[in-house]
Amino acid sequence: MGVTFLTPWAWLLAACGVLPILVHLLARTRSRRVAFPSLRFLEATPLSAVTRRTLQDWPLLLVRIAVVLSAVAALATPVFITPAREAAWASRVARAVVLDDSAAPPEDELRSAAVGATFARSRVRDAIADAARWLADQRPAHREIVVLSAFKRGAVDAADFVGVPPEVGIRLVRSSHGTAVREREITRLQLRDEGLVRVLEGVTLGPETTAVRELRAEVIPAVPVTVKATPQEQEAADAALRAVLRRGLRLPPAGLLQPLSVDWTGDVASLAASLESRLAAPLDAWEPEPMTDAELAALARPPASAADARPDDLGDRRTLWALVLVLLGLETWHRRGGTWT
């Protein structure tokens, strides 16, 4: 069994233990009056100043010193580390449950934690950030974020947990019904009446519907894409490029950084596929198929160890304050005439 102090700086006040000694040295002792029948047979002697240099009433002095040191120890908040207390620390969990669908969280997820809360937002990343901030405000414990979702592909990824501290555990629990709403952005290069424009579209992927809305558009002065073809086929290639651009050509998130040139493939469909394969990543991650167990396991991690999760509880200072009260009562009893023997 060991001991630790939650406020060890309080031991600096132990220097106050010299105060009872100074009180005993500087205190004046009252003279005891003795009845005497006559003073005429006593010779007169001159009065001399007497200064006490020795300590008297050692038991009372020790009691007063013990009062001061016990109070200082109580202010230092000692925690006696016993096997039972270590077991309690090891089992204390602060759990934040993030909901990615309409299903209610399992009751045992919150009931088995010392403290727990649920978080739900339109975007899982925002709910995870809320959960991380809430865990940071809790008393030290095993901190854990539990994400409850059907885990359709693209619902969560490693980027959603970047802001979660490494000592916080992550656990992913698959639910049966997913109704998560995911937000994505698409940049398109499109030919319109006013010319070639770069369009930013917001895509909302719901459980049953998909909505697309235009966020902004800007005119581009020159066409950054060319199709190489033979002189005989160049006119058909340019017409096919205009057809692809009029439908809209998806760009990477960072936009088209430099001009792109492709070879003429003979038809509009193959040209569009060739351009999109060169420019943007495929949309497979947007499909509603579920993530695999291996992908979920790659995102999960255990919480910090019990040694790092030691809570700052009240410690054992109440016992020391009770001892201070007992010692004060003993000191008061002696000053009022009680004797040690």
Query: Domain residues of the chain, as ranges?
Result: 1-27+55-90+311-341, 93-180+289-309, 182-279
pLDDT for the residue numbered 47? 62
Give the DSSP letter string of 249-307: EEE-TT---S-EEEE--SSHHHHHHHHHHHHS--GGGGSSPBPPHHHHHHH-B----GG
The predicted model gives 312-324 an average pLDDT of 76
**208's tokens:** 């049953």
| C-alpha closest to that of 158 among 144, 167, 143, 147 | 147
Burial, 45: exposed, middle or buried (Cβ in 10 Å; 0-12, 13-18, 19+)? exposed
Distance CA(331)–CA(70), nearest Å, equals 14
Helices 58-75 and 19-26, packing angle to 10 deg: 150
| C-alpha closest to that of 317 among 47, 11, 78 | 78
| Other CB atoms within 10 Å distance of the CB of residue 95 | 26
Residue percentage of the chain with pLDDT more than 70: 75
Q: What is the Cα 274 distance to its own chain's centre?
A: 46
Q: What is the CA radius of gyration of the chain?
A: 40
Place 130 in a pLDDT band, splitting at 50, 70 and 90. Answer: very high
Residue 309 has pLDDT above 50, yes or no: no
pLDDT for the residue numbered 20? 83
The predicted model gives 128-137 an average pLDDT of 90
Whether pTM exceeds 0.85: no
145/109: higher pLDDT:
145
Residue 328 has pLDDT above 80, yes or no: yes
Place 195 in a pLDDT band, splitting at 50, 70 and 90. Answer: confident
Per residue in 77-86, pLDDT (tens digit) is 887 777 777 6
Residue 302 has pLDDT above 60, yes or no: yes
Q: Which residues contact 105 (CB under 8 A, 6 or more apart)?
A: 97, 99, 118, 146, 148
Three-state SS at 106: coil
Per residue in 198-230, pLDDT (tens digit) is 888 888 876 667 788 888 888 888 778 888 888
